[in-house]
């Protein structure tokens, strides 16, 4: 088996590229901090043998011991939290945020999502297949994990780095970055990505994740950051420039969604997603892979909810279907 890609970023700080086979994200960036007494892993990749082998290989290359290693997880998605149960020892600290932990530990979560998906127009004959195929179902920790909850502003210290927790809701309800002020570094998870745009989506009938995301971007914009270490793909050296691009992307999305709803008079989230512009190689919406339709519909709904929060869109029930109109 080829060696994992391991890169030294700063003294005692490394990136291990953890592959995500047959996934559009391609890989997760797992950051490893070598400490005097204990090490820290920031995000792990999915609960898959390929991911596990890559991280174990990275530890071998760095001559580090998993038995004295703690974990920090930026958010609840399987490509970040999947391996914490498998890799952590009984005495390991697993730092996590409370809002995401409550979702992850909700035994009725998938049943709730199942009921909401149909209400937002996702075809009934595809909902079960989509949920069964969902990475969160297939590659998350198999059992409940005992977390050490962190709050916004908490400090953790490893390898000579003082890491401050910065809660940045949007991509998930409790997404939390780590900021290292001396070196002006931000471990951004999926809050800020360089090569791709973070998915801001929802299936719930409450909340405004895109509105929260904009607030979180504005908060990070004010921080003194020279290097962003994201959860996927390339490092980012112009944090504010990238934030401007992300906000512009979503502003254009909002205009597009509003125009689609206007043309339709009233419509559901699935039909809005079908007419949005997506960076995906496919001849038509019918040719989209099932999971891409799923994520696209969730993203469409998040943009609709934002327009609703601005008083630009209203909703009503049409039989068993939730429809939106201007």
- Predicted confidence at residue 291, as pLDDT, reads 93
- Cβ atoms of 274 and 263 within 8 Å: the answer is no
Residue 294: CB atoms within 10 Å? 25
Q: Across the chain, how many H-helices and E-strands are there? A: 11, 14
What does 191-216 look like in DSSP terms, one character per residue? Answer: TS-SSSPPP----SSS--HHHHHHHH
Distance CA 195, CA 18 (A): 17
Pairing of strands 321-325, 314-318: antiparallel
pLDDT one-digit tens code per residue, 56-82:
999 999 999 999 999 999 999 999 999
Cα 230 to its chain centre, rounded Å, is 11
Angle subtended by helix axes 209-221 and 290-309, to nearest 10: 80
- Predicted confidence at residue 3, as pLDDT, reads 62
The pLDDT of residue 1 is above 70: no
pLDDT one-digit tens code per residue, 185-237:
999 999 999 999 999 999 987 899 999 999 999 999 999 999 999 999 999 99
Class of residue 274 by CB neighbours under 10 A (exposed 0-12, middle 13-18, buried 19+): buried
pLDDT one-digit tens code per residue, 125-152:
999 999 999 999 999 999 888 999 999 9
Compute the mean pLDDT over every residue in the chain, rounded to the nearest whole number: 95
- How many domains does the chain contain in total? 1
- Predicted confidence at residue 231, as pLDDT, reads 98
- Predicted confidence at residue 206, as pLDDT, reads 80
Using alpha carbons only, give the angle 224, 33, 239 rounded to the nearest 5 degrees.
25
- CA 198 to each of CA 147, 179, 242, 258: distance values in angstroms, whole numbers, following the listed order: 25, 19, 12, 21
Task: Write down how long the chain is.
Answer: 326
Distance CA 235, CA 80 (A): 17
Q: What pLDDT band is residue 313 in, cutting at 50, 70 and 90?
A: very high
Q: For 89-113, b where at least 16 C-beta lie within 10 A, e where not — what string?
A: eeebbbbbbebbbeebeeeeeeeeb
Distance CA 69, CA 35 (A): 9
Pairing of strands 94-97, 69-72: parallel
pLDDT one-digit tens code per residue, 23-59:
889 999 999 999 999 999 999 999 999 999 999 999 9
The torsion defined by the Cα of 47, 289, 117 and 189, in degrees rounded to 10, comes to 40
The pLDDT of residue 12 is above 70: yes
pLDDT one-digit tens code per residue, 274-293:
999 998 878 899 999 999 99
Distance CA 237, CA 127 (A): 40
| End-to-end Cα, the chain, rounded Å | 56
pLDDT above 90 as % of the chain: 89
pLDDT one-digit tens code per residue, 231-272:
999 999 999 999 999 999 999 999 999 999 999 989 999 999
**Dihedrals phi, psi of 185, to nearest 5 degrees:** -115, 145
Higher per-residue confidence, 109 vs 46 = 46
Pairing of strands 176-180, 161-167: antiparallel
Averaged pLDDT for residues 296-317: 97
- Cβ atoms of 67 and 19 within 8 Å: the answer is no
Which residue segment(s) compose the domain that 18 sits in? 5-325
Q: Which of helix, strand or coil describes residue 251?
A: helix
What CATH number is attached to the domain comprising 174? 3.60.15.10
- CB within 8 A of 141, min separation 6: which ones? 47, 81, 82, 83, 84, 85, 86
Distance CA 100, CA 76 (A): 6
Cα 283 to its chain centre, rounded Å, is 27
Distance CA 241, CA 225 (A): 11
pTM above 0.85, yes or no: yes
């Amino acid at each position: 088996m080829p060696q994992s890609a391991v890169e030294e970023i700063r003294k005692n700080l490394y990136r291990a590229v953890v592959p995500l086979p047959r996934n559009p994200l391609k890989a997760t960036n797992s950051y490893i901090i070598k400490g005097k007494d204990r090490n820290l892993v920031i995000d792990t990749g999915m609960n898959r043998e390929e991911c596990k082998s890559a991280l174990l290989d990275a530890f071998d290359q760095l001559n580090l011991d998993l038995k004295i290693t703690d974990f920090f997880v930026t958010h609840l998605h399987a490509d970040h939290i999947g391996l914490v149960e498998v890799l952590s020892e009984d005495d390991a600290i697993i730092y996590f945020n409370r809002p995401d932990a409550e979702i992850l530990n909700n035994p009725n979560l998938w049943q709730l999502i199942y009921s909401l998906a149909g209400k937002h127009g996702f075809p009934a004959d595809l909902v079960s297949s989509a949920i069964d195929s969902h990475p969160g179902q297939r590659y998350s920790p198999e059992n409940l994990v005992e977390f050490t909850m962190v709050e916004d502003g908490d400090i953790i210290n490893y390898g000579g780095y003082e890491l401050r927790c910065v809660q940045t809701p949007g991509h998930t309800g409790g997404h939390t970055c780590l900021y290292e002020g001396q070196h002006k570094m931000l471990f951004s998870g999926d809050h800020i990505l360089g090569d791709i745009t973070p998915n801001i989506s929802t299936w719930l009938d409450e909340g405004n994740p895109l509105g929260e995301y904009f607030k979180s971007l504005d908060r990070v914009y004010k921080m003194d950051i020279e290097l962003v270490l994201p959860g996927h793909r390339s490092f980012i050296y112009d944090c504010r420039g990238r934030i401007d691009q992300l906000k512009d992307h979503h502003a254009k999305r909002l205009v597009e969604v509003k125009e689609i709803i206007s043309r339709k008079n009233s419509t559901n989230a699935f039909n809005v997603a079908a007419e949005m512009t997506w960076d995906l190689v496919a001849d038509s919406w019918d040719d989209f892979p099932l999971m891409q339709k799923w994520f696209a519909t969730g993203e469409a709904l998040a943009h609709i909810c934002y327009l609703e929060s601005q008083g630009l869109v209203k909703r009503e029930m049409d039989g068993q279907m939730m429809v939106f109109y201007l």
